[in-house]
Structure 1
Amino acid sequence: MSTQDFSSLNLPQAAIDNLNSLGYKAMTAIQEQSIPLAFKGHDLIAKAKTGSGKTAAFSLPILNKLNIRFFGVQALILCPTRELSAQVAKEIRRLARYQQNIKVVTLCGGQPIGPQIGSLEHGAHIVVGTPGRIKDHLRKGTLVLEGVSTVVLDEADRMLDMGFYDDIETIIQQTPSKRQTLLFSATYPEKIQQLSSDFQSNPVEITVESVHSHSQIEQIFFQVSRSQKNDATYQLLLAYQPNSVVIFCNTKQACQELTDYLIDGGLSALSLHGDLEQRDRDEVLIRFSNQSVSILVATDVAARGLDIDDLQAVINYDLSRDNDIYTHRIGRTGRAGKKGLALSLYTESEKYKLEAIEDGQKQPIQYGDMKKSDNSGENLLPHPPMTTLCIFGGRKQKVRPGDILGALTGEAGIPGKSVGKIDVTDFSAYVAIERAQAKTALTRILNGKIKGRKFKARLL
């Protein structure tokens, strides 16, 4: 862990104070290695995983050189998914709080293009988005990149996996040749080297050892037949009782079938895959991260950028085809010094994948016995502690978290400690409420007012 704090950087005092207030104390390894180089204007190719602090590593240099008086796009950040784009934009806004009027615009598919065009007409300093939608704006002429001085390719390996190479090329060709290009990737396949040689000039390479120490994560492998997988997953959930778990499947179909199987068995589960509409994806992620649902069944692409701090366990329903992806999946548990648990199912024909995992970790694999995990449903998983209340009003109706909290807790309302995370999106707000208080909370919203207005609401 780094011991260097942010005051060692050449940042204004207001920026340091803001970082302190956000809980940024010592720099992570990726920040310590990349920020000073980025400040000097170098192109970077950095190997870093989700959770390593890479958003701040590229955002602070961008914010440091912004010309706030110029309302043209000065930095462009490309991300593989809408979720990651939203997460990056949110973090940049937090990091930028020490300066007035910095405008960050998110441009992603799956959302109407009209409001995005409106936002761009008012000017933007930083654009964060997915390659497809950014290309749409360039084609329409609603986005101009000739003032861009920094381009960031975040999770570049995933963008290449999703087939975005040509889109990235088209976009970067519309930025000035004299620009800084920062490339971040969790893995380092050949295609990344190709991307770098096409779009970067003399990049400095940085590799940070995985932030997750595998000694924190107990990994157990169970051999099953393909037809046993759903039942085996169910048994492992009952045997280990995790209060938050992500289960990885390689296909959307497996994802949906397993979710249905678990729900039929009385468990609280949601699935996250590429076929979901944007609103549904947002809702799934919000309900999982606010502890209203304890099991999330996901594909790798859909779970990319999923940042849940306190994940008790990861289950590999399907083993990934790639050891780096396996490492990335299990690295979502056992964070911040906590113990983690990674349970993996494999079939007879997948034994070769286990050898690759052993080689990658340079330590023998621990095998489990499904028979010992079978407790024949004696104890069901406890219900998640929270329920989500969805209110049909959001940012566009000027609804803020504080207004909702006031409406729920004011004048002999429900106790403040019964209200959990509040997420406000453009047109809806989602509030985590302790189960016992859920119906009371719903009644209060339906019978009361938020900011003097009545809103519809329902429990999810």
Structure 2
Amino acid sequence: PGRLLDFVSNDNLYLGLIELLVLDEADRMLDMGFVDEIKDIISHTPYDRQMLLFSATYPEGIQALSKEFQQQPKEITIKAEQTKNTIIQRFYDVPKMKDKDEALLTLLGSKASESTVIFCNTKIACYEVLEFLRERGYHALALVGEMEQRERDQVLVRFSNKSAAILIATDVASRGLDIDDLDLVISYDVTRDPEVHVHRIGRTGRAGKEGLALSLMAASEIKKMFAINEYMNTTFDTSDISKLKSPYEPKKPNMVTLCIDGGKKSKLRPGDILGALTADGGIPGSDVGKINMFPNQAYVAIARPSARQALKLIQEKNMKGRRFRVRRL
């Protein structure tokens, strides 16, 4: 919104002929603090234009925006699926908020998970948990609002191709997150919105597979659990985390991601990368994982034992008649 408003303010863009205005993921834009910019942009559009507003949740800020700028709007609600059969849910009692870090280690150590998403309510909490886990040997990444698109792409690529086992995210930043074989979701903070809780747990247990959703609940958050119970029309009993055994130590992910400074705009294709890695006595094809192509970068997952050789192969071989810079993420 800020960039668009700059164009409008500098008379580089005229919105006076707009007939249809669409606000997609409106709650995300409000959470990121763009409400004033959005209102300013809307004020430059005709009064009689049509306005469509899409939002995963419907907090007070969205209601106020609708009331201010929409005339007699029709509200269409699509109820979220509440799948119970394939998702096992548990709430673990934690005496105080400050005890959650150690409780999180207990949960991670009790499950041999290769793909875990941890949800926090704030960006600050995400970075604090990230630092805590990295200091203890976990390969973790953070996904928060206001990240540059390239940084966000790298995080999602590394998590989806199994180069990192843990993703710590806010609900807003994880919007649209779709990861195959996500076997564990942990709510480090219990959300205030029961519908958001359903969105969180719905990222595991897909395609008929069994998923596991665990929540760390301090005494101050018990009312939030009651609200979730009511919304999902069920009753969750709390579990004693001290009874869990933690036999699993953090281990290095099986894959490593290489970033190539060339992509679709350089006419680079996945086949070019695969050929450079495997031809003429290169690494086995089975050691090459997912290849993600972007306009200016390409990312390739490599089995950890072959990562050093793969890096050297791409550095030394020509693709599309030239050499590309490559680095390990």
Shift of 1:396: 4.7
Query: Where does residue 57 of structure 2 map in the other structure?
Result: 187
Residues 18-97 of structure 1: pairs in structure 2 closer than 5 A: none
Query: Where does residue 450 of structure 1 map in the other structure?
Result: 319
Which of 304, 310, 319 aligns to 2:181? It is 310
Residues 75-224 of structure 1: pairs in structure 2 closer than 5 A: 131-145=1-15, 148-175=18-45, 179-224=49-94
Q: Deviations over 1:314-341 (max 9, x none)?
A: 1111222332322222222223332221
d(CA) in 2 for partners of 1:400, 1:147: 42
Judging by fraction of residues, say which structure has more helix: 1
Q: Is the 8 A contact 1:241 1:381 kept in 2?
A: no
d(CA) in 2 for partners of 1:156, 1:418: 42
Which of 228, 231, 247 aligns to 2:102? It is 231
Q: Is the 8 A contact 2:258 2:311 kept in 1?
A: yes
Query: Where does residue 459 of structure 1 map in the other structure?
Result: 328
d(CA) in 1 for partners of 2:70, 2:289: 44
Matched, 1:388 2:257: yes
d(CA) in 2 for partners of 1:279, 1:240: 32
Shift of 1:178: 5.6
d(CA) in 1 for partners of 2:40, 2:147: 28
d(CA) in 2 for partners of 1:249, 1:140: 39
d(CA) in 2 for partners of 1:223, 1:154: 37
Q: Which amino acid aligns with 1:291?
A: K
Q: Which has the higher contact order (CA 8 A, sep 6+)?
A: 2
Q: Is the 8 A contact 1:248 1:299 kept in 2?
A: yes
Residues 249-288 of structure 1: pairs in structure 2 closer than 5 A: 249-274=120-145, 277-288=148-159
Summarize the Cα distance change of 1:414–1:150 in structure 2 as closer, same or farther, 3 Å threshold. Answer: farther
Q: TM-score, normalised by structure 1?
A: 0.64
Q: TM-score, normalised by structure 2?
A: 0.87
Helix, strand or coil for the counterpart of 2:239? coil
Q: Is the 8 A contact 1:147 1:176 kept in 2?
A: yes
Q: Which amino acid aligns with 1:259?
A: L
Matched, 1:299 2:143: no
Query: Where does residue 245 of structure 2 map in the other structure?
Result: 374
d(CA) in 2 for partners of 1:166, 1:338: 43
Q: Deviations over 1:146-205 (max 9, x none)?
A: 565543222222223333333223323444556543322112234333333444455443
Q: Deviations over 1:193-249 (max 9, x none)?
A: 333344445544322221341333211111123333112111211212222111112
Helix, strand or coil for the counterpart of 1:222? strand
Q: Deviations over 1:277-326 (max 9, x none)?
A: 55433322221122110101122333233332432221111222332322
Unaligned runs of at least 5 residues, structure 2: none
Which of 318, 343, 357 aligns to 2:228? It is 357
Q: Deviations over 1:87-134 (max 9, x none)?
A: xxxxxxxxxxxxxxxxxxxxxxxxxxxxxxxxxxxxxxxxxxxx2222
Q: Which amino acid aligns with 1:313?
A: L
Q: Which amino acid aligns with 1:266?
A: G
Q: Is the 8 A contact 1:219 1:366 kept in 2?
A: no
Query: Where does residue 399 of structure 1 map in the other structure?
Result: 268
Shift of 1:448: 0.4
Matched, 1:246 2:126: no
Query: Where does residue 297 of structure 2 map in the other structure?
Result: 428
d(CA) in 2 for partners of 1:364, 1:214: 12
Q: Which amino acid aligns with 2:84?
A: H
Query: Where does residue 200 of structure 2 map in the other structure?
Result: 329
Q: Which amino acid aligns with 1:166?
A: D
Matched, 1:439 2:308: yes
d(CA) in 2 for partners of 1:179, 1:414: 59
Q: Is the 8 A contact 2:117 2:169 kept in 1?
A: yes
Shift of 1:365: 0.8
d(CA) in 2 for partners of 1:310, 1:459: 25
Q: Is the 8 A contact 2:31 2:172 kept in 1?
A: no
Query: Where does residue 347 of structure 1 map in the other structure?
Result: 218
Give the aligned length. 328
Shift of 1:364: 0.6
Q: Is the 8 A contact 2:32 2:146 kept in 1?
A: no
RMSD (Å) for aligned C-alpha atoms = 2.6
Unaligned runs of at least 5 residues, structure 1: 1-130
d(CA) in 2 for partners of 1:275, 1:205: 29
Q: Which amino acid aligns with 2:53?
A: L
d(CA) in 2 for partners of 1:275, 1:167: 15
d(CA) in 2 for partners of 1:433, 1:299: 28
